[in-house]
Chain A
């Protein structure tokens, strides 16, 4: 069996105020796999996401990306390989123009000159935002800002893409456009959400996290079809939805 793209073992995280957000999480994700991390508010989804590229340091356990285990020495390499797209694009887009923001990541990782320009153009094209390159993020719609935030991460050429609530507050058309942008991407993908239909649209496997632990892990249809499991962890499909197997 080939090496998993992401291997998390015994991961625990305790915040300075004593709150235990993650309590022994074990997770393996194969290369190219698309996994939804489901769970109610406060389940530890965002903490897990921030631990995957070393923005938060695990209190216990290890995070391994490919062959590299997260440590003080490898954190830079891990951050290049694991791209996080935050829920609120206004947290991610901080430069005066979209193009400058997209260039920020690769420039931090040492890309410059013509290669940087090429990466920016490529990432903007991948999210259909080329014509908005020179605009300020303040002048874009939420859907456009979320795609721009995705471009800022794609420009770093990550192996693993982690998206936090990608569909939050998007209108139906923007939701569809984002899904169409994400579908052709080759990267291994982790989608943190409690929007179950969107998770089913994007991913093939579902991991349910509650109270800092993995409580279910299986094929999307199996997890979403188990109404008892969903109900026990404050998850439910919207009214009128059923899971096609």
Chain B
């Protein structure tokens, strides 16, 4: 069981960023990521400004670099792809430390790495300052379809249950001499995943019955015990970073 472990991406705190309503943070995140993605990739200064912006929000939310850095490793697979690009792309080439690198490949790699890093950092900011319990209410306030919201809520809740089930099954396999490293025993692993899928399906049915018997009629009711609804002042304050990022992106297009 995962008893006692806090969510790995959430960081408790009481900063203004933590207190901001979740729906505002989600809108702000989407706008900032859009601004970053829309910025021309063969420039440097707009990205430096974005990085400073995110670091400023981190400082305000008391997120330390040492805490954030290991959690940003999720983007490593994309970085690996980006590293290959300067070698594989065609077009004009330059010599760097004896290696022939493609200029367009280098810009493409830079674009992927910098936009990916900024996007992950911005998402991490929201994840670190928003608890899972605020999410369903925030999403329904943003008029996200109830079906999507309930899927997300169920996923957050049952990922732990499913993980615990998978761990128990693994223990039972290992204790009967299974060694998942051996290729010929991959069969057992595959069957285990199949069984897990079936069990999750059956659990899904039971969860639905339990929801039905408490009067569920297809929509998740707004639970008044969540956080307070965002006021105009929350929106204007919290959207400042988004407005700033959008301005930077627009200026980059004008000045390029």
Q: Footprint of B on A, CB under 8 Å?
A: 50, 53, 55, 76, 79-80, 82-84, 86, 88, 90-97, 99-100, 103-105, 107-109, 112-113, 116-117, 120, 134, 136-141, 152-153, 156
Contact = CB atoms under 8 A, between A and B. Distances in A.
A100 B222 contact: no
Interface stretch (B90-98, B152-160, B241-249): B152-160
A96 B213 contact: no
B221 A104 contact: yes
A136 B215 CA distance: 22
A55 B212 contact: yes
Interface centre among B209, B211, B214 (most CB of A within 10 A): B214
B160 A76 contact: no
A95 B224 contact: no
B3 interface: yes
Contact of B225 (A50, A117, A137): A117
Contacts of A116: 223-225
B144 to A, nearest CB: 16
Nearest to A77: B215
A214 B153 CA distance: 40
Contacts of B136: 95-96, 100
Interface string B76-98: 00000000000000000000000
**3 tightest A-B contacts by CB?**
A108-B215, A107-B221, A105-B214
Contacts, number: 112
Contacts of A93: 157
Given A94-B157, A152-B214, A138 B3 contact: yes
A88 B203 CA distance: 10
Contact of A139 (B2, B206, B226): B2
Given A88-B206, A91-B206, A139-B3, A79 B224 contact: no
A245 to B, nearest CB: 37
B207 interface: yes
B1 to A, nearest CB: 8
B222 A139 contact: no
Contact of A156 (B131, B135, B215): B215
Contacts of B203: 90-91
A79 B214 contact: yes
Nearest to B215: A108
B157 A100 contact: no
A84 B215 contact: no
Interface in B175-219: 203, 206-207, 209-217
Contacts of B2: 138-139
Contacts of A79: 212-215
A86 B215 contact: no
Contacts of B215: 76, 79-80, 105, 108-109, 156
Contact of B224 (A90, A117, A139, A152): A117
Interface centre among A94, A104, A113 (most CB of B within 10 A): A94
Contacts of B171: none
B132 A136 contact: yes
B209 A55 contact: yes
B153 A94 contact: yes
B71 interface: no
B133 interface: yes
A223 to B, nearest CB: 28
A151 to B, nearest CB: 12
Contacts of B230: none
B161 interface: yes
